């Protein structure tokens, strides 16, 4: 089993609706993202997944969030753009473009700061 990771980042504003504190007001973050893709075997070149392919897929999804007011993004109109929901959004979108018989997204880590963040992964038993 091989875990390939790609790091990225994006800047965006948001606010947490109905939050009982400062985060209910508009503010921004420079989010850091780490995506892990799990592969079962290597190809003929000795690679589980070409880093270029992984980076392009992550860039495509992360760019859809960059320099946005996340509360206006279609994915977050009905859900707060919390780090948890952002990580799930990135994971679900990567799953659509980075899943083969050999590899698939395993986890997405989203950090609001260097010291706090969230890791999202699906339950392997779930359909």
Catalytic residue list: 23, 67, 112
Q: Tokens representing 5?
A: 């990771």
Supply 16's token pair: 């947490």
Alpha carbons 28 and 66: distance in angstroms, whole number: 11
Two structure tokens written together for 81: 């753009």
Among 120, 107, 123, 99, smallest CA distance to 49 is for 99
């Amino acid at each position: 089993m091989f875990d390939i990771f790609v790091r990225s980042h994006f800047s965006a504003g948001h606010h947490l609706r109905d939050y009982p504190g400062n985060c209910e007001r508009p503010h921004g973050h420079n989010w850091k993202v780490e995506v892990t893709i799990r592969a079962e075997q290597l190809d003929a070149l000795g690679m589980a997944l070409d880093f270029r392919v992984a980076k392009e897929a992550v860039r495509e999804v992360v760019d859809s969030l960059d320099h946005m007011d996340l509360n206006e993004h279609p994915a977050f109109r009905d859900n707060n753009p919390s780090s948890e929901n952002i990580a799930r959004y990135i994971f679900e979108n990567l799953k659509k473009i980075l899943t083969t018989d050999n590899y698939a997204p395993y986890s997405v880590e989203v950090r609001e700061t260097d010291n706090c963040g969230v890791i999202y992964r699906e339950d392997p038993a779930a359909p």
